[in-house]
Chains A and B, each alone.
Chain A
Amino acid sequence: MTMPFYVSPEQLMKDRADFARKGIARGRSVVVLAYEGGIAFATENPSRALHKISEIYDRIAFAAVGKYNEFENLRVAGVRYADLRGYSYDRTDVTARGLANAYAQTLGTVFTTESKPLEVELVVAEVGPTPGADQIYRLSYDGSVADEHGHVVMGGQAEQLGARVADAWHEGMSLAEVLALAVRTLGAVGADGSVTAEGEEREIAPGGLEVAVLERAGRRRAFRRLQGAVLAGLLDQPGDRDGAEQV
């Protein structure tokens, strides 16, 4: 009779966390930045159909890195959760906090009970009536939740890129400014996955970017994708070049 190997809980959790972290680090980063008029999301994604950034509800959006099939499943569940809640109560009763909790419980349960953790990292963001009321929640593969203030970087090299964004980001930036910062951050990861020095970032054409915003003012549905000429125009504003030179 063979005895099963004893694996300590610490080792088990560490192995799972390493596994999930490795899967997540392989993907390209997503940058989430608050600006004066809302919250902007950007990632390098040449696909026009397979999105990493999506609308969940009127003022709530979702961004993810990691395995597509896993976060797509969570996204659909989030849309169902939000629509069902809004239908049975009221549209105003759907909150990013509630959704983040549901995601956290789901990720946490899968991490501890199933044979493989979900290799995803999520951001659930809700734009409020004022910049102070904006909410950005970052959720990890193990179900831990962080309430972020103003900026998040997820995916490969998230720590190094996050530190750069933290230095450059400040309250009250315009949309063009945060988009320039986002593209600069995304461009800092080279083709081989290494982080380049500041000022030597790759150029990313607007066609290779997936960009969306939650707009504070205006329509009921705050989520809007920025594509084509609109995006190119925003990335090409003279103000940004000045901003880029200061870095």
Chain B
Amino acid sequence: MTSADTSGRLPDAFLRPGSSSFVDFLGAHSPDLLPGRRLTAGGAPADGLAPHATTIVALTFGTDDGGRGVIMAGDRRATAGNLIASREMEKVFAADAYSVVGIAGSAGVAIELVRLFQLELEHYEKIEGSLLSLDGKANRLSTMIRGNLPLALQGLAVVPLFAGYDLDRGYGRLFSYDVTGGRYEEHDHHTVGSGSVFARGALKKLWRPGLDADAAVGVAVEALYDAADDDSATGGPDPVRQIWPVVTVVDADGVRHVGDDELAGTVERIVAERGAAHRAAHGDRPAGGGTRQRNQGGARA
């Protein structure tokens, strides 16, 4: 506890009426604990020092009248330069009972931001006795990302994707952000992170209105599979270590993590379909055309 008061009594700042925001309280009482306030040496570029978290996808499912929900999924890889820093990193978190947040960017800063964001929502809920509105939550996240701008300028950017069930309106919504804290509501689907280009391409072809939750989970996993196919920083499903993407479903019942058994089945189905499609196109020959052409130029092996 950062307090000069040694008598053990609660400091005056704790007893001051006012803000229901933990971030505001922290900023006033112990600003050094806020992630974005820490200055690194001389403002030197700091990217490349810390692991990077990569691709997050999110998409809606269901119909407007039947209770639209949102699915968010993330791969499990963190990279540091050309190395894999972690195979089991989780980048999609339940922010509270009705919303999830996924992060791409500098892993250490991002995880601390998520921890603070979760606490911010819980703190408000405890003090006010009611949940923050979904727009309110999205705006709080915006403020926190903006607070991280000094670090972002040094290369430690965090780009979240936020999704939740709007209890007032009765459907799920999706928000994307930029490093300056800009908040944009997305419709249907969105992706962030290094493999987002490929994942978004896949979502454009695979997503359609009125998907049910199970089909939407399949689409999310398949989009991540495509991202991992072309982006070296995105990890594909790992059947050897039994590591699957983190997939969360948010609907009127709240946040639910999709279980490993269900994901294993989904991955198995996607791999089998892709294998069948490949065999239909090329028979049993490898994709290279059968004959090895070792002297071909281009990409290095």
Per-residue CB contact flags for chain B residues 24-47 toward chain A (1 = under 8 Å, else 0) read 011001100100000000000000
Do A85 and B1 contact each other (CB < 8 Å), given the known contacts A103-B10, A109-B9?
A: yes
Per-residue CB contact flags for chain B residues 256-268 toward chain A (1 = under 8 Å, else 0) read 0000000000000
Q: Which residue of B lies closest to A57 (CB)?
A: B126
CB pair B14 A105 closer than 8 Å: no
> In the assembled complex, which residues on chain A have CB atoms less than 8 Å from the CB atom of B116?
87
Which of A85, A87, A109, A221 has the most B CB atoms < 10 Å from its CB? A87
Closest-CB distance, A211 to chain B (whole angstroms)? 15
Do A73 and B15 contact each other (CB < 8 Å), given the known contacts A84-B1, A84-B26?
A: yes
Contact residues of B between 241 and 258, Cβ < 8 Å to A: none
Is the C-beta of B50 less than 8 angstroms from some C-beta in chain A? no
> In the assembled complex, which residues on chain B have CB atoms less than 8 Å from the CB atom of A56?
126
Do A102 and B127 contact each other (CB < 8 Å), given the known contacts A80-B14, A84-B1, A88-B33?
A: no
CB pair B1 A105 closer than 8 Å: no
Chain A interface residue count, Cβ-Cβ cutoff 8 angstroms: 27
Which of B10, B15, B116 has the most A CB atoms < 10 Å from its CB? B10
Closest-CB distance, A81 to chain B (whole angstroms)? 6
> In the assembled complex, which residues on chain B have CB atoms less than 8 Å from the CB atom of A80?
14, 22, 25, 123
Q: Which residue of B lies closest to A88 (CB)?
A: B33
CB pair A87 B115 closer than 8 Å: yes
Do A79 and B127 contact each other (CB < 8 Å), given the known contacts A87-B116, A88-B33?
A: yes
> In the assembled complex, which residues on chain A have CB atoms less than 8 Å from the CB atom of B2?
88
Which of B116, B119, B123, B126 has the most A CB atoms < 10 Å from its CB? B126
Is the C-beta of A240 less than 8 angstroms from some C-beta in chain B? no
> In the assembled complex, which residues on chain B have CB atoms less than 8 Å from the CB atom of A51?
129
Q: Which residue of B lies closest to A219 (CB)?
A: B97
Is the C-beta of A106 less than 8 angstroms from some C-beta in chain B? yes
Is the C-beta of B295 less than 8 angstroms from some C-beta in chain A? no
CB pair A84 B129 closer than 8 Å: no
Q: Which residue of A lies closest to B5 (CB)?
A: A105
Is the C-beta of A176 less than 8 angstroms from some C-beta in chain B? no
Is the C-beta of B7 less than 8 angstroms from some C-beta in chain A? yes
* Consensus secondary structure, chain A interface: helix
> In the assembled complex, which residues on chain B have CB atoms less than 8 Å from the CB atom of A74?
10, 15
> In the assembled complex, which residues on chain A have CB atoms less than 8 Å from the CB atom of B33?
87-88
CB pair B10 A79 closer than 8 Å: no
CB pair B129 A49 closer than 8 Å: yes
CB pair B127 A87 closer than 8 Å: no
CB pair A84 B29 closer than 8 Å: yes
Is the C-beta of A13 less than 8 angstroms from some C-beta in chain B? no
One of A49, A55, A109 near B7 (C-beta < 8 A): A109
Is the C-beta of A77 less than 8 angstroms from some C-beta in chain B? yes
Is the C-beta of B8 less than 8 angstroms from some C-beta in chain A? yes
Closest-CB distance, B237 to chain A (whole angstroms)? 28
Which of A56, A78, A102 has the most B CB atoms < 10 Å from its CB? A102
Closest-CB distance, A105 to chain B (whole angstroms)? 4
CB pair B115 A102 closer than 8 Å: no
Is the C-beta of A76 less than 8 angstroms from some C-beta in chain B? yes
Given the complex of chains A and B, what is the CA–CA distance between A105 and B7 in angstroms?
A: 7
Closest-CB distance, B249 to chain A (whole angstroms)? 18
Given the complex of chains A and B, what is the CA–CA distance between A73 and B17 in angstroms?
A: 7
One of A76, A79, A85 near B17 (C-beta < 8 A): A76
Given the complex of chains A and B, what is the CA–CA distance between A164 and B59 in angstroms?
A: 58
Do A84 and B30 contact each other (CB < 8 Å), given the known contacts A73-B15, A102-B10, A105-B9?
A: yes
CB pair A87 B119 closer than 8 Å: yes
CB pair B129 A79 closer than 8 Å: no
Given the complex of chains A and B, what is the CA–CA distance between A49 and B9 in angstroms?
A: 28
Report 25 cross-chain contacts, Cβ distance below 8 Å, ordered by A residue: A51-B129, A54-B126, A55-B126, A73-B17, A74-B10, A77-B15, A78-B10, A79-B127, A80-B14, A80-B25, A81-B14, A83-B22, A83-B123, A84-B22, A86-B119, A87-B33, A87-B115, A88-B33, A101-B8, A102-B8, A102-B10, A105-B7, A105-B8, A106-B15, A108-B9
- Report the 7 A-B pairs with minimum CB-CB distance, sorted nearest first: A105-B9, A77-B14, A105-B8, A106-B9, A77-B10, A106-B10, A77-B15
* Interface residues, chain A, with chain B CB atoms under 8 Å away: 49, 51, 54-56, 73-74, 76-81, 83-88, 101-103, 105-106, 108-109, 221
